[in-house]
Amino acid sequence: MEFTHAQASQISASTKDEILPAFHLGQRVRMTKPIRNDGSNPFNKPNEILIPAGAEGYVKYIGDWLQVIRIYEIHFIEEGNSYGCREAELESIYDLV
């Protein structure tokens, strides 16, 4: 992907995400690795797997953390919960078929 001069000037040296989101609202996605409790979920034990790798969900919200890292809120219907995920932890279901 090539950037215009204006786009290139907006890229932070610490960013790992593209300028445009890789996924869109309502898109079906799959986890590439499990989500573990980092201690922020008081209803589960620390380091317990909250969502297994391969679980499927839908993009509910797209936000930023520290203005450089894109976080996708993914709603996992079977598990009944939503969790924040990075682009590298997700893959599109539609690209796989």
**Can you tell me which residue has the tokens 């797209």?**
62
Amino acid at 32: T
Strands (E), 1-97: 28-31, 35-36, 49-51, 56-65, 69-76, 81-86, 90-92
- How many domains, the chain? 1
Q: Residue 12: its pLDDT value, please? A: 46
Strand ranges across the sheet with 81-86? 81-86, 69-76, 56-65, 28-31, 90-92
- In-domain check, residue 48: yes
Which domain range does residue 40 map to?
A: 5-92
Per-residue pLDDT for the chain (97 aa), expressed as one digit of tens each? 555 655 555 544 444 556 778 888 999 999 999 989 888 888 889 999 999 999 999 999 888 877 778 889 999 988 888 988 888 889 998 765 4
- In-domain check, residue 97: no
Domain CATH for 78: 2.30.30.50
